[in-house]
Amino acid sequence: MQAPTARPRTSGLKWFLWLVGVPLLLFAGYLAFVVNWAYSDGERAGYLQKFSHKGWICKTWEGELAMTTVPGVAPVLWNFTVKHEAVAAQLNAMAGKRVVVHYEEHRGIPTQCYGETNHFVSRVSEIEDIGVRSRPVEALQEIPQ
């Protein structure tokens, strides 16, 4: 008669790695992907209405751009986040001014520690505000036929 072969025991560490370690690695890979891959990018222009450093645990720079096409029309408010301190310092100096911001949109970020919005500003430049100029409209001359 043959003696029954003993089945090797799987260690608790192996189960722990499969149940906890693998999902953590998958989550870290997903997070690295959504933070480094931009869904879209572009530029927006408007008046920098609000810019603040806020958050309970994760402090982020959050701003609000008032975009308007024609003076007197209610502006569309666009919220954004800034990750870089140098860009945040530039924006702080431009509060209330007309600016153009270059942004990247990162969708699917699972936490607000990266920012309250999906739009991350990476560059900013100020637009010289020329104001409204009034000049008389010149009379149209009749075109000879």
Residue 122 has a pLDDT of 94
34: confidence class by pLDDT, cuts 50, 70, 90: confident
Mean pLDDT throughout 122-145?
66
Q: Flag whether 19 is in a domain.
A: no
pLDDT digits (tens, 9 = 90+) for 65-117: 999 877 788 889 999 999 999 999 999 999 999 999 999 999 988 777 888 99
Q: Flag whether 112 is in a domain.
A: yes
Q: Flag whether 142 is in a domain.
A: no
Distance CA 29, CA 104 (A): 20
The string over 53-79, giving b where at least 16 C-beta atoms fall within 10 Å of a residue's C-beta and e elsewhere, is eeeeeeebbbbbbeeeeeeeeeeeebe
CA-based nearest residue to 71, from 91, 47, 100: 47
pLDDT digits (tens, 9 = 90+) for 37-60: 889 999 999 999 999 999 888 899
Mean pLDDT throughout 109-127?
89
143: confidence class by pLDDT, cuts 50, 70, 90: low
Question: pTM of the entire structure?
Answer: 0.71
For the beta carbon of residue 50, count every other beta carbon within 10 angstroms.
13
Q: How many domains does the chain have?
A: 1
The token duo for 106 is 């990162």
User: CATH number for the domain including 61?
Assistant: 2.40.50.140
What is the extent of the structural domain holding 79? 39-126
